[in-house]
Amino acid sequence: MKKFAIILAILVTTISTAATAGTLHFDAVGNANVSGYLEFDDTNLVLDGSCESNAYITALELQVTVDQDVINFSLGNVVTSDQTVLISLDNVPMIENGCGNLATNGDWTIGFWPDGWAESPIDGDASLRVEGPGEVDVSYAVQWVAGAAIPVTPVPALDVWSIALLTLLAGLTGMLYIRRFAQT
């Protein structure tokens, strides 16, 4: 019986650990004026087109070039009171739009805007809008490439398959236990 308890504890720990959240990583590609990445803690992300809090952003390193100015944004520049619209198409996460600004470093502000904004090409995900001194207001078509696909909804610690496996394991252990004592 002691072995069963140890096996069950290991199984539950393994299943729970496998279902814990990670980060959702996006790289900025496809535009020479924008480089870098951002990451979201995917614990509470739903990816259904609703506004997700920028407070879920755990890493941000973006470099944006406007004319001759190179502007850097980091995690400390994130506007945590604003939001980002994330969706999932065929289980591939995408940045679709923004609800407010993404980041500001004092003089410069960036935010996500939908495809086609300010005549940016429609490429499937959000453009990056940059506002700065002297009424600078430009929009760049950027591809936000996800590092890995994640589930559309948060994964519970014990899903249906885990419960079925635990039930099977408990049944087999019970049968072996009964068989052992039936022989004595």
Q: Establish how many alpha carbons lie within 13 A of residue 118's alpha carbon, considering only the half-sphere containing its beta carbon.
A: 13
Q: How far apart, in whole angstroms, are the C-alpha atoms of residue 175 and residue 172?
A: 5
Write out pLDDT tens, residues 83-108. 999 998 888 899 999 999 999 999 99
Say yes or no to pLDDT of 15 above 90. Answer: no
Give the mean pLDDT of 19-32. 83
Kindly tell me the number of DSSP H helices and DSSP E strands found in the chain.
2, 12
The two tokens of residue 77 are 């520049």
Q: What is the pTM of this model?
A: 0.68
The two tokens of residue 11 are 């199984």
SS3 43: coil
Write out pLDDT tens, residues 134-170. 899 998 988 899 985 444 444 455 555 667 766 777 7
Residue 22 is predicted with a pLDDT of: 85
Count of beta carbons in the 10 Å neighbourhood of residue 75? 13
Say yes or no to pLDDT of 128 above 50. Answer: yes
**Mean model confidence pLDDT for the chain:** 81
Give the mean pLDDT of 37-63. 93
Element (H, E) at 7: helix 2-18
User: Rounded to whole angstroms, what are the CA distances from 40 to 53, 93, 120, 147?
Assistant: 10, 11, 25, 11
Place of tokens 């078509």: 141
The two tokens of residue 2 are 């002691």
Segments making up each domain of the chain, as ranges:
2-17+157-182, 22-146
